[in-house]
Amino acid sequence: MPSYTPMIQQYLKIKARYNDCFLFFRLGDFYEMFFDDATKAAQELEITLTSRDGGAEERIPMCGIPYHASTNYIKTLVERGYKVAICEQVEDPKTAKGVVKRDVVQVITPGTVMEGAMLLENENNYLASVDKAEGDYMLSFIDLSTGELYVLSVNHFDRLKSEIYNRPIKEVVVSDQLTDKERMTLSDELQLTISHHQLPETIDRASYGDLLVNISHQSLRQAIIRLIHYISTTQQRSLDHVQPAEEIVLSGYLGLDMHSKRNLELTETMMKKGKQGSLLWVLDQTVTAMGGRYLKKWLERPLLDRQALSERYAMVEGLLDQFIERESLRDDLKSIYDLERLSGRVAFGNINPRDLQQLTLSLSRVPTVKETLKTFHSPYLQAIGEALDPLSDLRGLLEQSLADEPPMTLKEGGIIKDGFHAQLDDYRDASRNGKQWINALEQKEREETKIKSLKIGYNRVFGYYIEVTKANLHLLPEGKYERKQTLTNAERYITPELKEKENLILQAEEKSLELELQLFNELREQVKAYIPRLQQLAEKVSTLDVLQSFAVVSEQEGYVKPTLIKEDILEIVGGRHPVVEKVMTDGMYVPNDIKLNSETNMLLITGPNMSGKSTYMRQIALTVIMAQIGCFVPAESATLPIFDQIFTRIGAADDLVSGQSTFMVEMLESKHALEFATNNSLILLDEIGRGTSTYDGMALAQAIIEYVHDHIGAKTLFSTHYHELTSLSETLTQLENVHVSAEEHDGEVVFLHKIKPGPADESYGIHVAKLAGLPGTLINRANVILQLLESNESEQTTNNVKEKTAAFELASQKVDEEDVKNNAEMTILQTDDQLSFFAETTSTSKNKKGSRVEKKLKQLDLMSMTPIDAMNALFDLKKELQKEE
């Protein structure tokens, strides 16, 4: 780089080490960016792009931001998935020989932000690491702002995606063990920032021992080490607040794949991607930031532990029964700041005096919380109160050392309380008395010179000075004043006496600030020792906050305590959808019942569009989830088993990122349920098959129903518009037909939103179109066409369905049990007239186009294909037929 100036050469050398980051290069009071960084940053941050001479023939693109205002600019870049490398001057420019030494002191990424302004108060901000060994995936993730560290393993990439999606993970550190396709999936489909990090061969694994104390599996330990090493490399800060890793054993929690979390809108809505309208929005009556994050974690990991859930119910009940005490507890909790993130800032070294004041105020409320908890009758609440550590020693230290109203920054002074340190008191006394002497000297000089406008001022360049207007210069005695500066309308002077006092005052102030900074750093180091106790306190306070939130919302919305049983029975009386009920302003929500047991574990739900089928299905799942996080549920009564997993296919939308149609998304989500569900799972399937032609959809829907019924045995709700499927209740012993009722009066349909036994009479599709406001002429024409179709409908259609069902059963009998397990939902393809494009291409099967599709179909080895392979093949054949037509 001989053509560039030494400074630009320095920039390029540092930039080469951080190619995937914006390099914020410190020059004086600005962070500057050059070359491509400048061009891109100017666009992203909407700042002016300029240029400078860098020694080359062409000027170099350049943009910059003030270092004191950098937080908001960094936040903007990080929120958009970028990384920012902070390059500071690491030597004093006054003593530097040549170019000032600079180096990167921190890399800020979406997963490593620590500044409060960049973090959402009620949400964790996770950085994750993914490793792969022997076909299993190890996922380790940490919230650097709180020090929480977790690790888990899964045996399938789809499950890895779900675990990442179900948590607020912003960035994933990967190694070369992951394939390019897997990395692209994490980046594009899950919209994550991907960071590559290889561990050095000489890494000292023993130094990570404290974090790995609870982890025995070597692969899990490796994932944690990669994650922590990446953080240490990029942050170059203390990680004393990071807690020992906790292994999440997924078999101990209710399984929720990414599709279920999205479809059920647990933490955000599908359309607006916001909290309002989600289950979290309904349940969140927490009053602390810690409690808000804890509630979300509980929603992400519902429990399977019956005893732990019973204890949570008991505490919610105790809080419900004592309103006055509960309100007192809420008031106490409101005064407690974010202990978790305050601890993180202490360890990270970016805590300010105001933060420590918040910590002091928080600790002062803990004794009150303990006393309030003693007044509850619940022994579980009393036990939490007894276990609360008030950290009286830390509180005493902070109250003794910290000023009552400390400043935000360390440069202002006034951090340490008077009387805490004798030397500091001496400096302060000299400074304060010196300023009083300055005021006295000003008054004395005015009296002696008779110049009323004479004043003594101060600036950093000249120090203290005596200022006299030019109109009064003739009043000054000769020989006493030494001219220092000439202004337009005044002269500035000094005297030996003033200079002597100036030295005393400035030295006292400078030494006072230096000593205060030293004392504050020592205080911060002392607080570090209390971090584990602070984190334990934060956990208990968070638990209390979530439980009182459950009590408040249960009282407000009329929720009841569920009964958990070991028998295979799900019975909800007067169940309601918690979100829909809350947003309804007329208070006219129609409750519904459900009863499933070992004799009836499937409901086939029919009824018109907009009648409430999807709402009914969702409310069952949400009731289960609420029960398994320890909350009361929206019903008159609820008797529930413990479910191990919930699978949903609700709603229809193309996956534009992956280039998959509605039908393909539908099949993939159905496949996930068929592959992983057990007889202890809950499956919700809404309108399966609507993304393809009628016969295709009906065939797949029936095959899926039969497969779940015969080979999984899970509690299942299956809604459909294929009324022909209601006949399955005659052959499937554990399936029952129900429908959402509607009534027609004078040509107008009224949806009753009530679930009743038996199949629906009709779909009322044209009535729904009318409600949607379609033109009247169009509605009238649709009615005419419907009458024509109904009048021309022959019994042959019904007979064809029966024949196709019989053919499917015959084909199923010809394969052994294992083949049925793998291919039952697709064996329907073996009947020549089962699918619509067979039945509808009688006239075209003789031409070349039809022959080509048929030839491809005959080449398929259906019996060796997995269900999803068969679905994909069917989808491709259908697309080819559509193109040829």
Give me the mean pLDDT over the 233-250 stretch.
93
| 253 within some domain | no
Q: Which residues are annotated as a binding site?
A: 607-614
Q: Which of 226-235, 246-255, 841-850 has the lowest mean pLDDT?
A: 841-850
Distant-in-sequence, close-in-space partners of 102: CB < 8 Å, separation ≥ 6: 10, 14, 25, 26, 87, 88, 89, 90
Question: End of a domain among 762, 783, 817?
Answer: 762
67 and 83 share one domain: yes
Whole-number pLDDT of residue 824: 37
| 404 within some domain | no
242 and 156 share one domain: yes
| 611 within some domain | yes
| 266 within some domain | no
Q: Which two tokens stand for residue 846?
A: 């003789």
Instruction: Decide if 304 contacts 642 (C-beta within 8 A).
Output: yes
Element (H, E) at 26: strand 22-27
Whole-number pLDDT of residue 866: 57
Residue type, 626: M
3-state SS, residue 402: strand
Q: Which residues are annotated as a binding site for ATP?
A: 607-614
Whole-number pLDDT of residue 146: 96
| 788 within some domain | no
pLDDT at 790 over 70: no
616 and 750 share one domain: yes
Whole-number pLDDT of residue 198: 87
Question: End of a domain among 711, 741, 762?
Answer: 762
84 and 165 share one domain: no
Adjacent-strand bridge partners of 660: 655
678 and 643 share one domain: yes
Top-confidence residue, 121 or 873: 121
Give me the mean pLDDT over the 632-656 stretch.
84
| 767 within some domain | no
- CATH code of the domain covering residue 102: 3.40.1170.10
Convert the pLDDT of each residue in 570-624 to its tens digit.
999 999 999 999 998 777 899 999 999 999 999 999 988 778 899 999 999 999 9
pLDDT band at 822 (very low <50, low <70, confident <90, very high): very low
Instruction: Decide if 640 contacts 570 (C-beta within 8 A).
Output: yes
Whole-number pLDDT of residue 793: 56
- CATH code of the domain covering residue 549: 1.10.1420.10
Give me the mean pLDDT over the 440-452 stretch.
92
HEC per residue, 746-804: CCEEEEEEEEEECCCCCCCHHHHHHHCCCCHHHHHHHHHHHHHHHHHCCHHHHHHHHHH
Tell me how far apart the alpha carbons of residues 737 and 812 are, in angstroms, rounded to a whole number: 24
Between 392-401 and 353-374, two packed helices, what is the crossing angle to 10 degrees?
140
123 and 192 share one domain: yes
Q: Which two tokens stand for residue 763?
A: 């779909």
628 and 720 share one domain: yes
Task: Return the sign of the alpha-carbon dihedral for residues 275, 277, 282, 287.
Answer: positive
At CA 824, angle to CA 822 and CA 830, rounded to 5?
115
| 772 within some domain | no
631 and 661 share one domain: yes
Distant-in-sequence, close-in-space partners of 523: CB < 8 Å, separation ≥ 6: 356, 397, 398, 401, 402
Top-confidence residue, 601 or 134: 601
Convert the pLDDT of each residue in 833-880 to its tens digit.
333 333 343 344 344 445 567 777 767 666 556 555 666 677 677 767
pLDDT at 43 over 80: yes
pLDDT, mean over the chain: 87
Element (H, E) at 575: strand 570-575
* Structural domain boundaries, residue 138: 119-248
152 and 75 share one domain: no
546 and 576 share one domain: no
Tell me how far apart the alpha carbons of residues 464 and 771 are, in angstroms, rounded to a whole number: 82
- CATH code of the domain covering residue 607: 3.40.50.300
367 and 511 share one domain: no
- CATH code of the domain covering residue 178: 3.30.420.110
CB atoms < 10 A from the CB of 95, how many? Answer: 7
Please tell me the total count of domains within the chain.
6
611 and 722 share one domain: yes
C-alpha of 326 from chain center: 29
Question: End of a domain among 69, 85, 108?
Answer: 108
| 849 within some domain | yes
